Amino acid sequence: MYELIDAIEAVIKAAHPAKREALASTIDAYHDDFPEDFHWAIGAQAPTLLSHLMMAIDVASREQGETKTRVFRLVDRKPEGSA
């Protein structure tokens, strides 16, 4: 699995900067339009390969030091009421 992820990351990093920027913008739009799906795909409940692929593609598509921090909850909101 890690060899596959490394290979995909290397290909993305070798791509033309404009293509990487377009990919990063597409990932941002996916995050903005479908945040629950996006966070599930990079979260602990996603299959391991999917989670690693999503993160590798996101990181590789951006210039170094430009990585966006994706904040997501691992636990639902605090229970309401006195229970």
Q: Give 4-15 pLDDT, tens digit per residue.
A: 888 888 999 999
| Residue 43 maps to a domain | yes
Q: Which domain holds residue 34?
A: 2-60
| Residue 79 maps to a domain | no
* Structural tokens at position 38: 């996006």
Type of residue numbered 51: S
| Residue 73 maps to a domain | no
What are the pLDDT digits (tens) for 23-75?
A: 999 999 999 999 999 988 888 888 887 888 888 888 888 877 665 555 444 44
| Residue 46 maps to a domain | yes
Residue-level pLDDT at 28: 93
Domain count within the chain:
1
Task: Residue 11: name the closest of 22, 20, 24 by CA.
Answer: 20
| Residue 70 maps to a domain | no
| Residue 51 maps to a domain | yes
Q: Cα separation of 61 and 71, whole Å?
A: 18
